[in-house]
Amino acid sequence: MTDILVVAEIVGGQVKKPTFAAIAFARDAAKAAGGSFAILAIGAGLDAAAKELSAFGASKVIVAEDATIKGYTTEVFAPTAAAVAKGGFGIVVTAATINGRDLAPRVAAKLGAGYAPDISGFKAEGGKLAYKRPMYAGNAYGWLTVETAIAVVSVRPTEFTAAERERRREPDREGRRAEGRRGGEPRVPRLRDGQERAPRAHRGQGHRRRRPLDQEQFEAC
């Protein structure tokens, strides 16, 4: 049994359409793997998005809401998704959008997980899922399996029919703390023990203005 986590893509409080393709994959893959799927929403002002996401048959909608999150940043989304995934999920799914393709490998690295990018299909094989993806600039297709305990997958939105709403009871809503550095927080450099960060030079400091060569110096050159 494998449970699946879909990381929703939300902009301005609205769920982006590619997320529904990722949900469609998760719903079908969960049935094939004998598990369930949940949806993770990260950001600020997520009430409307969470309500919309609750209509697609997920076992629960996990909301990591923080008013300081102004948009997608890897410093927040990657550690948050990885922390949630460690709660018993075997597959983490994003849509293969610009943000999704940026996020998925970072989550895989934090989890020590294998990554199946840009998949266009899947099949159940020997108790595991095999993923279909394009190769050689789309001139061929191949199948791959992920051998790590957790798999991270990005789904091509054009290859999966967007999920439709289901008439079921609303799933449980779970609140989580967003991890990582917020957009308004300064980046703190990591230094080794005993190291000190050199002060940043201002304009005019650390730069000597060269004097023009006189005639004798010019001829000597």
Checking if the pLDDT of 182 tops 60, the result is no
d(CA 39, CA 58): 7
CA distance 221 to 92: 66
- Max avg pLDDT among 104-113, 183-192, 199-208: 104-113
Is the pLDDT at 64 greater than 60, yes or no?
yes
What global pTM score does this model have?
A: 0.77
The CATH number given to 4-176 is 3.40.50.620
Strand order in the sheet with 151-155: 114-119, 151-155, 91-95, 4-7, 37-43, 60-65, 172-176
Contact at 8 Å (CB) between 160 and 25? yes
pLDDT at residue 8 is higher than 90? yes
Q: Where are the alpha helices (DSSP H) in the chain?
A: 18-33, 47-53, 74-85, 98-111, 215-220
